[in-house]
């Protein structure tokens, strides 16, 4: 099946062979490229090697649980979207998974059509249509494949965290994102509300991007931050 899905690679991780095969087969039928893994260690290895566009990840694995896998990937700088599969229909699992930076979760048993719809929805949010590798806003270009950022044609040198922060802002143009949202999606964990890390990194970004043009980062006092066209008031 041709279409946008044909360019997107998924990693499906589950230790139950029937579920693993069924999910992988249904997603392949929709046109996705699908890698699979049955253990946490194998999942980490494949995630590093293939750099998937999204991971469908079982929470309960025989060696390393899904939460630990996401923690490890985020520590390594990966912002790959994750949908958790969980056999526990509890609010605690949902809060834990989303707090680690997961994008969605599905409770077992689930329908394959429901899972496919969740996968498409997350990919739409995290890999916009068009040139999925490159995000653009005003005179900014961010390449998600080679981790390069250009402003008005100039290469901007960013740290890993600065890159993730800018990427999340560019995935949500025109929106004001709260500190809690930024902490969850960029740093992948929650602070107690007293940390100034978000403001600190926003100032780093402002300084580096501001070397090549007007300020694009808007501060909504008491709320958060977002990208705004320089001619907006």
Range of the domain at 193: 134-227
pTM equals: 0.55
Domain count, the chain: 2
C-alpha neighbours within 13 Å on the C-beta side of residue 10: 28
* Edge-to-edge strands, sheet with 134-137: 134-137, 140-143, 148-151, 154-156
Contacts with 185 (C-beta within 8 Å, 6 or more apart), sequence order: 79, 101, 168
Q: Which of 96, 126, 156 is the last residue of a domain?
A: 126
Helices 91-99 and 66-75 pack at an angle, to 10 degrees, of 20
Same domain (yes/no): 140, 115:
no
pLDDT at 173 (0 to 100)? 81
Q: What pLDDT digit, counting tens, does each position of 198-209 carry?
A: 889 999 999 999
Give the pLDDT of residue 190: 42
Q: What is the CATH number of the domain that holds 178?
A: 1.10.10.10
Residue 232 domain flag: no
Same domain, 193 and 147: yes
- Looking at the structure, tell me whether residues 79 and 186 fall in a common domain: no
Co-location of 19 and 109 in the same domain? yes
Cβ contact 63:97 at 8 Å: no
Domain end residue (candidates: 126, 160, 184): 126
Q: Is residue 233 part of a domain?
A: no
pLDDT (tens digit per residue) in 1-31: 334 444 588 999 999 999 999 999 999 988 8
**60 part of a folded domain:** yes
**21 sits in which H/E element:** helix 17-29
Same domain for 105 and 151: no
CB of 137 within 8 A of CB of 128? no
Token duo for residue 2: 């041709």
Domain with residue 88: its CATH number is 3.40.50.2300
As a whole number of Å, the end-to-end CA separation of the chain is 46
């Amino acid at each position: 099946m041709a279409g946008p899905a044909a360019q997107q690679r998924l990693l499906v991780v589950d230790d139950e062979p029937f579920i693993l095969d069924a999910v992988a087969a249904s997603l392949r039928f929709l046109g996705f490229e699908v890698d699979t893994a049955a253990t946490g260690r194998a999942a980490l290895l494949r995630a590093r090697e293939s750099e998937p566009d999204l991971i469908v990840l079982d929470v309960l694995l025989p060696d390393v649980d899904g939460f630990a896998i996401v923690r490890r990937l985020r520590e390594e700088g990966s912002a790959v979207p994750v949908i958790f599969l969980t056999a526990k229909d509890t609010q605690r699992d949902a809060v834990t998974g989303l707090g680690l930076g997961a994008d969605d979760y599905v409770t077992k048993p689930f329908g394959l059509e429901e899972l496919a719809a969740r996968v498409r929805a997350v990919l739409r949010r995290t890999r916009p249509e068009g040139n999925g590798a490159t995000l653009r806003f005003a005179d900014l270009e961010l390449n998600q494949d080679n981790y390069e950022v250009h402003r008005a044609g100039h290469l901007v040198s960013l740290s890993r965290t600065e890159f993730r922060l800018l990427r999340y802002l560019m995935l949500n143009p025109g929106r004001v994102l709260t500190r809690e949202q930024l902490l969850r999606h960029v740093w992948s964990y929650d602070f107690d509300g007293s940390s100034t890390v978000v403001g600190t990194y926003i100032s780093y970004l402002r300084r580096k991007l501001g070397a090549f043009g007007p300020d694009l980062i808007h501060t909504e006092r008491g709320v958060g931050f977002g990208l705004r066209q320089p001619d907006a008031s």
